[in-house]
A and B are shown apart, each in its own frame.
Chain A
Amino acid sequence: MAEPMGFYTDTTVCIGCKACEVACKEWNQLPSTNGGVSTLSGDSYDNTRRLDGTHWRHVKFIEQFPEDRKDGRWLLMSDVCKHCVQAACLEVCPTGAIIRTEFDTVVIQSDVCNGCRDCIAACPFGVIETNPVSGTAQKCTLCYDRLQSGMEPACSKACPTQSIQFGTIRELHERAQKRVDQLHQVGEKRAYLYGADDKMLGGLNSFYLLVDEPEVYGLPPDPKLPSRNVIPGALFSVLGALLLGAISIFNFRTRTAGDHGEARP
């Protein structure tokens, strides 16, 4: 197995050019418009709106300005599948369509997926959605085909500011930590890494340098695996079944005056 690969996204140097979105769509042959119709969101410069089956990269524009607009800042972030080490989508997929590759990335095999959409509900980041063309769930593959050919993913290759960096996870962690230290030294004490350590779903193979709370970027502060509910859910169901079984057996065995229809049930 090759060394785990992934993305480190430094949001402080993203300029919102969307070259990553375009490169992703171009390489993966994803439709550029929604059925030929381009609609404007009215939300900042963001007309992509969210990650879905045909948008595997999404540059978020977060405007933090007071009413008088005298002060403030833009937060820009190129969002993508996190390729979690403990992946919720892979955990629930009932068809085996979602696999972990030799690069430790998570890929949906479109020819295997039957469009049940369990992975969409399971992903804590809201990354996956159905591609209306294929009828299957789709998301970023971390350019699996390019990786197999020794190439870099299209988005990081196209990024003009090195906001999206591709490499081995070990190397990216070192690089990201150095950048956090550098930002702290120059006074940006809010800088931290999101998803770099293994506390979050075993580690995110696409992790981020952020300068505000995760929720501000539309990221969950503590994403969880769906399997956390399997045992408690099953135990409570068994309890319900036992209660019903006992009530039913008791009543079918017990005969009362009303059992032949002459009195009330």
Chain B
Amino acid sequence: MNAVPSSTYFSAPPDWGWFIVSYFFFGGLAGGCYLFAGLIDLYGHAEDRPLARLGYYIAFSSVAVSGPLLTLDLGQPLRFWHMLIESNTYRPMLKPWSPMSSGSWALLAFGAFTFLGCLGALAETGLLAWPVARRVRPPGLPGVVIVSIGALLGLYVAGYTGVLLAVTNRPIWSDTPLLGMLFVVSAASVSAALMILLANRFKWTMPGLSALHRIDTWAVGLELVVLIAVMISLGPVFRALLNAWGVLLLVVVVVGMLIPLTLYRRAQSLGDRNASIAAALVLLGGFVLRLVIVFAAEGT
């Protein structure tokens, strides 16, 4: 094994596959949707409340899916709790410098906040006859505090997965420090896209939805810039993407970023078909982006 572009080429692949790719996607969705729901609650109008509720529902559902995905990926699924509790001493198990360890705690804590958000949303609609639950969302100081902390945790969950990949010795993953940033930005783009897609399906036209369109345009643009920065930062390791995975990444750039940006610009009104197609492509692109990043390194 001579003349490899990086010392990372001597490590072994961990065989992280579809479960992990899916978790990265749903974790990003959960974090991004909670962030937007919280921001709508904090800064939006009264008409935007249904959009915020949608965000809380998606966030909770995504976290609910994430737990089983992570557990099923383990070689010993029944020992999933070893991530949180030392099995020998029953003391809390936390290594702040290990993204997988800190991320497990963050996901657990964030799950609790998404649950509260979901309760608050259900209480607001009257589906949950528990008036106290309405206080877990703004306005009101308890709601503001809960949503602020939850949004920060959501950003953590959205981004730590990229840092987790970087904190290894695998080619591509550990050859750039920008994967966390890419995942955070991508989490925002896919989350806004899913909320737009569902809101269009429900034929909503509230002011917050228009803001989400603008945010998604920004997020997709930023995602493209960060992805280019990732490629540049890889240096000679970039050649690991000169294969089918690289072609797929190019498809992501065109279909999942450039075409949606064009379609968003062409959309004439909220609920426009162009906007729905753009949002669907952003969602698809966000999933395939994670797929390429995980699998390209697995095969190197």
Residues of A within 8 A of B (CB): 50, 52, 88, 91-97, 111-118, 120-130, 134-137, 213, 215-216, 218-224, 226-227, 229-230, 232-237, 239-241, 243-245, 247-249, 251-256, 258-265
User: What are 30 pairs between A and B in contact, CB < 8 Å?
Assistant: A91-B98, A93-B98, A96-B87, A113-B79, A114-B79, A115-B75, A115-B76, A120-B12, A121-B13, A121-B170, A122-B167, A122-B168, A124-B7, A125-B10, A126-B12, A215-B1, A216-B1, A229-B174, A234-B163, A236-B178, A236-B181, A237-B163, A240-B159, A240-B180, A240-B184, A243-B222, A261-B210, A261-B269, A264-B272, A265-B209
Q: Is the CB of B10 within 8 A of A219?
A: yes
Count A-B contacts at CB 8 Å: 255
The residue on B at minimum CB distance from A62 is: B1
Count chain A CB atoms within 10 A of each CB in B93, B167, B170, B219 and give the residue with the most: B167
Stretch at the interface among B99-107, B118-126, B130-138, B285-293: B99-107
Q: How far is the CA of A158 from the CA of B222 in the complex (A)?
A: 59
- Say whether, besides A220-B7, A226-B169, A249-B39, A237 and B98 are in contact (CB < 8 Å): no
Shortest Cβ distance from residue B13 to the other chain A in the assembled complex, whole angstroms? 7
Shortest Cβ distance from residue B220 to the other chain A in the assembled complex, whole angstroms? 12
Q: Is the CB of A226 within 8 A of B269?
A: no
Q: How far is the CA of A195 from the CA of B100 in the complex (A)?
A: 28
The residue on A at minimum CB distance from B151 is: A245
- Say whether, besides A136-B76, A226-B174, A94 and B169 are in contact (CB < 8 Å): no
Chain A residues near B15 (CB-CB < 8 A): 117, 120, 130
Q: How far is the CA of A52 from the CA of B35 in the complex (A)?
A: 42
Interface residues of B in 19-49 (CB under 8 A from A): 35-36, 39-40, 42-44
Count chain B CB atoms within 10 A of each CB in A218, A239, A247, A259 and give the residue with the most: A259
- Say whether, besides A94-B93, A256-B210, A118 and B163 are in contact (CB < 8 Å): no
Q: Is the CB of A244 within 8 A of B184?
A: yes
Shortest Cβ distance from residue B152 to the other chain A in the assembled complex, whole angstroms? 8
The residue on B at minimum CB distance from A118 is: B100
Interface residues of B in 167-199 (CB under 8 A from A): 167-170, 173-174, 177-185, 188
Q: How far is the CA of A88 from the CA of B97 in the complex (A)?
A: 12
Q: Is the CB of B11 within 8 A of A216?
A: no
Residues of B within 8 A of A (CB): 1-4, 7-16, 35-36, 39-40, 42-44, 73-77, 79-80, 82-83, 86-88, 93, 95, 97-101, 104, 155, 159-160, 162-164, 166-170, 173-174, 177-185, 188, 205, 207-215, 218-219, 222, 226, 264, 267-272, 275
Chain A residues near B75 (CB-CB < 8 A): 113-117, 130, 134-137
Taking chain B's interface residues, is the majority helix, strand, or loop, or is none over half, making it mixed?
helix
Q: Is the CB of B11 within 8 A of A247?
A: no
List 11 extra interface pairs beyond A115-B76, A237-B163, CB under 8 A. A116-B74, A120-B11, A121-B13, A121-B169, A121-B170, A124-B169, A229-B167, A236-B178, A236-B180, A237-B181, A259-B210
Chain B residues near A136 (CB-CB < 8 A): 75-76
- Say whether, besides A223-B169, A261-B269, A94 and B174 are in contact (CB < 8 Å): no
- Say whether, besides A116-B74, A254-B211, A264-B272, A220 and B10 are in contact (CB < 8 Å): yes
Chain B residues near A95 (CB-CB < 8 A): 79, 82-83, 86-87, 93
Q: Is the CB of B268 within 8 A of A264?
A: yes
Q: How far is the CA of A89 from the CA of B226 in the complex (A)?
A: 29
Q: Is the CB of A224 within 8 A of B215?
A: no
Shortest Cβ distance from residue A161 to the other chain B in the assembled complex, whole angstroms? 25
Chain A residues near B155 (CB-CB < 8 A): 241, 244-245
Q: Is the CB of B11 within 8 A of A92?
A: no
Q: Is the CB of B267 within 8 A of A265?
A: yes
Chain B residues near A213 (CB-CB < 8 A): 2
- Say whether, besides A114-B75, A222-B7, A265-B213, A229 and B166 are in contact (CB < 8 Å): yes
Shortest Cβ distance from residue A239 to the other chain B in the assembled complex, whole angstroms? 6
Q: How far is the CA of A97 from the CA of B93 in the complex (A)?
A: 11
Shortest Cβ distance from residue B270 to the other chain A in the assembled complex, whole angstroms? 4
Choice from B83, B188, B210, B213 contacting A114 with Cβ under 8 Å: B83
Q: How far is the CA of A219 from the CA of B164 in the complex (A)?
A: 24
Q: Is the CB of B210 within 8 A of A237?
A: no
Chain B residues near A220 (CB-CB < 8 A): 7-10
